[in-house]
Amino acid sequence: MNTRHFDPATELQNSLHTDQVFGVNQSISDSATFTFEDGKQMTDTFNGEHQAFLYSRHWNPTNLELSKALAAMEGTEAAWVTGSGMAAITSTILQICKSGDHIVSSMTTYGGTFAFFKNWLPKYGIEVSFVDITNIEEVTKAIRPNTKMVYTETMTNPLLQISDVPALSTVTKKHQIKLVVDNTFTPMIFSPFKLGADVVVYSMTKFINGKNDTTAGSICASGDFINSLIDLNDGTAMLLGPVLDTFRASSIHKNLFTLHIRMKQHSQNTMFLAKKFKEIGLKVNYAGCKDHPQHEVMGRTMNADFGYGGMISIDLGTKEKASDFMSLMQKRGVGYLAVSLGYFKTLFSNSGSSTSSEVPLKLQAKMGLSEGLVRYSVGLDNDIENTFSVIKSCLIDLKLI
């Protein structure tokens, strides 16, 4: 399936509506609870026979507005917003799986997700098989009668592999199981639901908010799935309570409307660096390069106009070299030696010893994660040529090129 005609930025812009009382921005709901006209209305609301806000952990007007915007951007019926990306991921998984179930997951995922799969779920009788998500045959073979979902990231952290969502969706539909996709690295660039995923999760801490001032997450899916998550009796989100605060929801909502411009600039800057890094002989991993193993998959499944994204990595061979290089880049103002991504300043980290440190060293080696990998989240620099010159000077002074 080609989604080139799906334009998440325009869908998002069209989701705005006027409010003559509060003005152009949505007002912030400052209430944990809501009033009912009488006892009957309260009973009917709790029975689901009357639609009203009943308690902010369930729904509130501010989170509802942000959720509607996210659903418009993803092409889903509904969405729900959480206090972190991990809250979105864990609520989704625990809603779909119970003790005795099995999950097939990409071997390469964010370290926190990997640790949840490897260390936490088995305590509650849920087993996970880790596979090379780019190998559809391996994914298919790992599915068992008790498998409930295939889990992946559209662009995996930190190897930057690209999942072929339409191909995975064909497999999950055939087996009548769910395909859950984390699209944190590539909002707007990919629309996984349009490509056949059942649930799309985000760490909105990253590109979607883009300001690194809060953690947040979201779950985008069918109306039925979102309603099941907040069911008063057994909804995982309702009962574990990971709801996003309304003040943060309001600020993320405003930042969402510049996301398309930011993604284009992140992509443009990163493509520039990818070409320059190659010219000076570095080992580069960027999905926009023709030699990236899933460059073709990305070209076939990405939306038009937003580029190949802001994530790139280079391999310096050893942890020590990576460490010296990152310290010098920070000293010279390239950006910050920090985990996370999607910020307006460039961030860089050594994945194996930070955001993927939960992955045992043996498995890191098996998945091809070099100890010298430096992962960049490229910022919105206006003068990326100058940024490259500074990076090059760091490499030369440390005798890395």
Residue ranges in contact with ligand PLP by CB under 6 A: 84-86, 110, 112, 153, 157, 182, 184-185, 203, 205, 215, 217, 340, 355
Give me the least distance between CB of 154 and ligand PLP, in Å please: 9
**Rounded Cα distance, 50 and 57, in Å:** 18
Residue whose CB is less far from ligand PLP, 343 or 388: 343
Give me the least distance between CB of 61 and ligand PLP, in Å please: 23
Q: CB atoms < 10 A from the CB of 24, how many?
A: 8
Residue whose CB is less far from ligand PLP, 200 or 384: 200
Residue whose CB is less far from ligand PLP, 106 or 301: 106
Which of 242, 303, 309, 294 shows the shortest CA–CA distance to 75?
A: 303
Q: Are 72 and 11 in contact (CB under 8 A)?
A: yes
Angle at 130 (CA atoms; ends 126, 136), nearest 5 degrees: 120
Residue whose CB is less far from ligand PLP, 196 or 217: 217
Which of 223, 205, 190 shows the shortest CA–CA distance to 68?
A: 223
Separation in Å, CA 199 to CA 79, 226, 285: 10, 10, 28
Q: CB atoms < 10 A from the CB of 315, how many?
A: 18
Give me the least distance between CB of 30 and ligand PLP, in Å please: 24
Give me the least distance between CB of 258 and ligand PLP, in Å please: 19
- Closest residue to ligand PLP, Cβ-based? 85
Give me the least distance between CB of 137 and ligand PLP, in Å please: 25
Residue whose CB is less far from ligand PLP, 140 or 161: 161
Between helix 319-331 and helix 384-397 the angle, nearest 10°, is 130
Give me the least distance between CB of 158 and ligand PLP, in Å please: 8
Give me the least distance between CB of 212 and ligand PLP, in Å please: 11
Q: Are 376 and 342 in contact (CB under 8 A)?
A: no
Residue whose CB is less far from ligand PLP, 248 or 321: 248
Q: Is the peptide bond before 158 cis (omega within 30 degrees of 0)?
A: yes
Residue whose CB is less far from ligand PLP, 242 or 321: 242
Residue whose CB is less far from ligand PLP, 252 or 384: 252
CA 320 to chain centroid, in Å, comes to: 29
**Rounded Cα distance, 235 and 217, in Å:** 17
Give me the least distance between CB of 103 and ligand PLP, in Å please: 16
**Rounded Cα distance, 169 and 164, in Å:** 9
Angle at 151 (CA atoms; ends 340, 103), nearest 5 degrees: 130
